[in-house]
Amino acid sequence: MTTEQQTAVITTPTDREVHVERVFDAPRERVWAAFNDPELIPQWWGVGETRVEQMDVRPGGMWRYISAGPDGNESAFRGVYREVTPPERVVRTFEWEPMPGHIMVEIAEFEDLGDRTRVITTMQFHTPEERDGMLNSGMEWGLNASYVRLDALLAGSAA
């Protein structure tokens, strides 16, 4: 694996956005499935155990995940799908339930690189403070830990 595959590139193009770019060693359809199949999400999302309580991947559909950290404490994340264009793009809202009302828009684009896939995620926040709060929350560490688990899932599901 290359360094590019093991670490997400995170930038802040504006004071209300976070841009994440990561290449996965799997075809786009498999990466799309890993991001959008409720059976696969618990195998890689988060840093502890994750349960998918709801995941209706269609415009207007809702999603909700409950994550238990290594310490056993649980917290939930939820949102609504705004746009779903398989296997190219998904747009959804994202809210961490312990901080209600701080809702970001997450745009994930899946670029076909043949046997590899570039995922470009743009997170749009209402305020610079919300963006900075996310950046300071340990998001980068958690995101990269999740992506390492996703690498393992994709490697194990090679067909």
Q: What interhelical angle do 128-135 and 139-156 show, nearest 10?
A: 60
Phi–psi pair at 104, nearest 5 degrees: -105, 165
Helices (H) and strands (E) counted in the chain, each on its own, are 4, 8
Whole-angstrom distance, CA of residue 5 vs CA of residue 155 = 12
The predicted model scores a pTM of 0.91
CA 81 to chain centroid, in Å, comes to 13
- How many domains are there within the chain? 1
CB 102: neighbour CB atoms within 10 A? 16
Instruction: Output the domain CATH number for residue 7.
Output: 3.30.530.20
The region, left, alpha or beta by phi > 0 then psi within -120 to 50, assigned to residue 43 is alpha
Amino acid at 41: I
The tens place of each residue's pLDDT in the chain, 159 residues long, gives 443 447 899 999 999 999 999 999 999 999 999 999 999 999 999 888 999 999 999 999 999 999 998 888 999 999 999 999 999 999 999 999 988 999 999 999 999 999 999 999 999 999 999 999 999 988 999 999 999 999 999 999 543
Which residues are registered as beta bridge partners of 78? 64, 95
What is the residue range of 148's domain?
Answer: 3-156
